[in-house]
Structure 1
Amino acid sequence: MARSRLRGWPVPVSQFGKVNVGLIGCGQFAFSTVCFYLKKQRSTTFLSAFDPLVEQAQSLAHYYGFREIAPSPDALLNHAELAVLYVTSNHASHTPYAIAGLKRNKIVYIEKPISVSREQLVQLTQAIRQSTGNVFAGYNRPYARAIQLLHRYVANSAQAGPFSLYYVINGHLIPPDHWYRHPNEGTRICGNLSHWIDLTIHILAWRNLPEWLDIQLIWANPTELDDNLNVTLTTDKHDLISIQLTSRSEPFEGIREFINIQYNNVIAQIDDFRQMTVWQGAHRKTWRFSPKDVGHERAILQPFCQQNRPWAEVELSTLLTLFICDKIRQRQSASRFWTRQQVANLEADSQRSSTSLSTINP
């Protein structure tokens, strides 16, 4: 069911020499993570940076040696030397900026979430189909070393079986006035929980995807439905998935997560992506990852790499994320998500949509 799409550059862009990178959104994540790993990529040239807060753009551009600070998004997007666009702005603006880059046939990296509404996703899908550029998403956990090692065990299983996945995430404590809380930004479902929804789709795709997922939602506080909640998924293939997000206090070392996975005779326990232990029958093996490896470096460098994950996985995980987000807003605790139907509807809507593509709205 999942569609792979080999589009754009047939080899990593780094093989063409220095690559000019532009970045929209110069906040903490762009500064501490995205540009940090791009600087390690020797073929990167920092071309242009834009942020509505000029001080942030100046700080990032000065530290990393960007050639210029763009006075506007259009100025950056229309730069004749721009090759790769990184979108790391506020969540609601990810899709409009990505579309603007794709309309100019650029290579575009979109930090998660790629869209905060189905309308945005339809427009983004339409832009991807019409562009000769390529697109990558900032969902990094599929690129974590632990997940890639675990994939080998599942791939070598003698027969297909159901997955049991259990996630416990200690998330950031987000105050009521934080921009994440703005209604237009997609709630914590798009902003945070989408990471583990996406990882779930990625893992299920190792076998093959289910026809449907039944969704059960439990929230602790009826006045704050997208925080301190549990999402349980069951499927026609008898998979059992539980995702618990809790944020009673701020974790001292940042987000902490614990993942337990069982598939046939394989049991894996991932401790905050610092350690993973795998049992296969009587055999046990432990890996330690220092520093903690949640896949940021490999995900950020997708435009410079081959063998990236299929975009169809990202489309499906975004559809599921937006579906769950809508059910939470509707206070509907039980629902069913039909995978083939959702993908087909997205494809049909993106083909027949006569709506003009999103405009830039920083």
Structure 2
Amino acid sequence: MLSRLRENARNEKYFSIGIGEILESSSNLFSVKQMVCFIAPNHSACVERIVIHEKLAFTISQKDYTWLSKDHIIWCRQYDQQKWWGSFFAWSPYSGLPVSSITNAIHEKMIEILQSIPTHEKKYIVIKTPSIVSEVQSTKKIFSISSIRKTAALFGYGNYAKTMLLPNLNKKIKITTIHEIDPTQLIPSQKNIYYDTCPYPRPNSKQDVYFIAGYHHTHADIAITGLKNNIDVVVEKPLMTTYLELENVILALQQSSAKYYACFQRRYHRFNDYMLEDFQIMKGDPISYFAVIYEESLPEFHWYRWPNSCSAIISNGCHWIDHFLFLNNFSPVLTSFAHKTKNNDIVTIVTLENNATLSLTLSHTGSSRIGMQEYIELRSGKNTAKINNGNYYCAENSARIIRRAKINKYESYKKMYQNISNSIIEKNNLELHDTWEKIKMVSSLILSLDEYVR
């Protein structure tokens, strides 16, 4: 959660109406150099150019707007309070929501606002000599085969990728391309990396590995492209958001020689080994899992709230669902159910054929003092292990406390990416990658639970 909230540039967006000149157009409705009035519903601060949907613009005549100047911008202290723009506010083409059209009433309202700007206003902002706007394409360096054994593309360059993924990769994997739709995330850029604002792989792009950590609904399509080209894929959660994506991932994986690595870091947690040792049980013995998870409420227009991002079961809850299945050696699911309460808490119950039970509660109600919090109890026979916030562990049986431990809760991320990248380089750990059967089992359960709370 803190990782997401620290992406200040990504979370801070602006809604604007304005007048501008068409620089490029893929729409038949507009041509280059035409003056248009436009709505920009969701853009970063201080950008020289804005990409807008054709439904969010209409042509105008510059002579009708006498206040337009190349020397200054008029400072208006008053603005329209009617909030007629509600249906456009924060819309994104990646959200899964349809774009609203500019109705005649809104067209007239925009004209009224922009034509009423007072030309006699004394306060204004001087426009200095503009900097030259240019597109930079970085050149790729040819690396020595002896030092770089695999090249990779990264999809999604947010704070998670910068702080968790990239620092922990095997040095013999070289990121040669970074795909990130938000240019504000690309600063400062690095030499020898090709930056691309397209969210998907370009045709004929050549890498050995795809690291996928972008918008949730893009994960499956990127993975499918990689698998079809026999490129190993390392996929951050969620693995997919629809049943159709699941079917296509399975088909691509069945026909590919590439490997698929699911990034559920709790599989790599040190406490997993502690628990098996302390409980004196074998892999596959029933381990019941009781978890209460608090996630800090996200901003109203955060992308986790988009329809394309689905419910909290897919966007966050998948972590604990996968962990439960992993600890039980992926025993087949017997029953599953989820319920959303009136205050939007989600309660999930799953039972497995080996008699293990999952009780998972996801909540946004409570203290946000330290961000995301989790309390987990693992139970098997007369043994119980308690895990707080991923770093405190206490195991006990009916007679005594068996073990107490405290660790850095981020070490599982480091171990995960180090182990996965080492496996990609050495091809020596067949247990790390996911088979299509395992992907089908985990994702089918998560998708079915999501349907209960939509």
Q: 2: distance between equivalents of 1:68 and 1:159?
A: 44
Change (3 A) 1:87 1:101: same
In 2: Cα distance, 1:274 partner to 1:34 partner: 20
Q: CA RMSD in A?
A: 2.7
Query: What secondary structure is seen at the aligned counterpart in 2 of 1:295?
Result: helix
* Equivalent residue, structure 2, for 1:9: none
Return the alpha-carbon distance in structure 1 between the equivalents of residues 211 and 159 of structure 2. Answer: 14
Residue of structure 1 in register with 2:211 after alignment: 86
Distance in 1, Cα, partners of 2:351 & 2:146: 44
What is the aligned partner in structure 1 of residue 308 from structure 2?
184
Equivalent-residue separation in structure 1 for 2:146 and 2:278 (angstroms) = 32
CA contact (8 A) 1:228 1:247 kept: yes
- Length-normalised TM-score, structure 1: 0.75
Residue 199 to residue 66, structure 1, CA distance change in 2 (3 Å): farther
Question: 1:10-159 counterparts in 2 under 5 A?
Answer: 18-38=149-169, 41-59=170-188, 61-62=189-190, 67-70=193-196, 72=198, 78-80=204-206, 82-153=207-278, 156-157=280-281
Q: Which amino acid in the other structure matches residue 84 of structure 1?
A: V
Correspondence for 1:212: 334
Give me the TM-score of the superposition, normalised by structure 2: 0.60
Match of 2:356 in 1: 239
Kindly indicate whether the alpha-carbon contact (under 8 Å) linking 1:49 and 1:66 is maintained by their aligned counterparts in 2. Answer: no
1:274 aligns with 2:405: no
For the structure 1 residues 294 and 151, does the alpha-carbon distance in structure 2 shift closer, same or farther, using more than 3 Å as the test?
A: farther
| 1:286 and 2:410 aligned | no
Partners of 1:327 and 1:219 in 2: how far apart? 8
| Aligned amino acid, residue 88 of structure 1 | A
Aligned positions, number: 301
Give ranges in structure 1 of 5+ residues lacking alignment.
1-13, 330-362
Distance apart, 1:236 and its partner CA: 4.8
Deviation at 1:76, TM superposition (A): 5.5
Contact 1:77–1:101, Cα closer than 8 Å, also in 2? no
* Identity among equivalent pairs (%): 20
Between structure 1 and structure 2, the one with the greater Rg is: 2
Which residue of structure 2 lines up, in the alignment, with residue 342 of structure 1?
none
Matched with 1:308 is 432
Q: Which has the higher contact order (CA 8 A, sep 6+)?
A: 1
Say if 1:219 and 1:141 are closer, same or farther in 2 by CA, change over 3 A: same
What's the offset of the Cα at 1:198? 0.8
> 1:260 maps to which residue?
377
Which residue number in structure 1 is paired with residue 141 of structure 2? none
The equivalent of 2:138 in structure 1 is none
Contact 2:212 2:223 in 1 (8 A): yes
CA offset at residue 160 of structure 1? 7.5
How far apart, in 2, do the equivalents of 1:94 and 1:15 lie?
A: 31
Deviations along 1:177-196, whole A, 9 cap, x unmatched? 22112112222111011111
**Paired position in structure 1 for 2:134:** none
Distance 1:75 1:238, change over 3 A: closer
- Separation in 2, partners of 1:159, 1:18: 35
- Which has the larger helix fraction? 1
C-alpha displacement of 1:151: 3.3
Alpha carbons 1:198, 1:314 under 8 Å: kept = no
Offset of residue 200 of structure 1: 1.1
